Structure 1
Amino acid sequence: MEKNVTDFSSLCNKLVGLDPRIRFVGVTDKHGMILTTAERTGIVPLLNDEETEQYAITASTRQYTRLRWQDLLGKLNYTCSLYEKILRITIPITNQKNRLEYLLIFTLDPNTDDFDYLIMEKVIPVVTNFFSRILTKSY
């Protein structure tokens, strides 16, 4: 797992560098425990570390509820919440049995109009490529 944390840190840094509107990126385990994070240089965080940890645990719990509907609704790509000050996205990372393994949490500036394009065309390809290697190592 220690090697994975180093890899996760590299992933977070790579994602923060993809687009200047990405503020924060974090990877959690399936229980919502934060493994690593990265932030855009010069950013003033809206949440402190404890609040971020609480959010991550809550987000992980919500993913379990959402994943149970995939058989009927199709694969869950991401969820998004638009707050006045932030656009918060979660991407569930599931294993071959559709069980939650990790959760990618990231935030964007709230005025990011093309967020779906940014997520689906820039972020998810990087995330999919990265976690396909990580999950293959786990089995």
Structure 2
Amino acid sequence: MVDEQYFASFCHQILNEHPSIRFVGLADRQGHLITTAYRKNLVPLMDSKDTEKYTFQTVIRASMREVFEDKIGKQRYAVGLYEKLIRATIPIAFSSNKNRKFYLLMSFDLDSDYGHIIERKILPIIKEHKEYFM
């Protein structure tokens, strides 16, 4: 069973790691958005329906890349650079149970050092919460 309150707290913890993080969302393996967190006073570029559609499409794309894991290894994260923001998708799976696979979706300001933030701040937090994602 999904604990939405726990996941909401997790997303807010991620959001508070750096001021250049605009948005954090957590999706399940089917592309359903479980929870989101937005930076204070941020005016989102997309409404909730667009965000749900983006989430579904992003999870589908990420899951399609998994067929190559045996050749190139598991994806740590994927980043897209857009004119108005930077997006990142981080697969979260610590178990062989495919039902316990999640995707952390994030957006950053254009001038952010997103690679450093993801590697040094976000991935360690995900590992700290490993037990809950199993």
Question: TM-score if structure 1 supplies the norm length?
Answer: 0.89
Where structure 1 has 5 or more consecutive residues not aligned to the other structure, the ranges are none
Partner amino acid for 1:48?
A: D
Q: Partners in 1 of 2:8 and 2:26 — Cα distance? A: 8
Partner of 1:17: 16
Q: Partners in 2 of 1:13 and 1:48 — Cα distance? A: 19
How far residue 127 of structure 1 moved from its aligned partner, in angstroms, is 1.4
How far residue 135 of structure 1 moved from its aligned partner, in angstroms, is 3.0
How far residue 95 of structure 1 moved from its aligned partner, in angstroms, is 4.1
Residue aligned with 1:68, SS? helix
How far residue 42 of structure 1 moved from its aligned partner, in angstroms, is 0.5
- RMSD, aligned α-carbons: 1.5
Where structure 2 has 5 or more consecutive residues not aligned to the other structure, the ranges are none
How far residue 96 of structure 1 moved from its aligned partner, in angstroms, is 2.6
Partner amino acid for 2:58?
A: A
How far residue 66 of structure 1 moved from its aligned partner, in angstroms, is 1.2
How far residue 110 of structure 1 moved from its aligned partner, in angstroms, is 1.3
* Residue pairs, 1:91-102, within 5 angstroms: 91-97=90-96, 99=98, 101-102=101-102
How far residue 67 of structure 1 moved from its aligned partner, in angstroms, is 1.5
Question: TM-score if structure 2 supplies the norm length?
Answer: 0.93
**Worse-superposed segment, 69-78 or 12-21:** 69-78
Partner of 1:57: 56
Runs of 4+ in structure 1 deviating by more than 3 angstroms, as ranges, are none
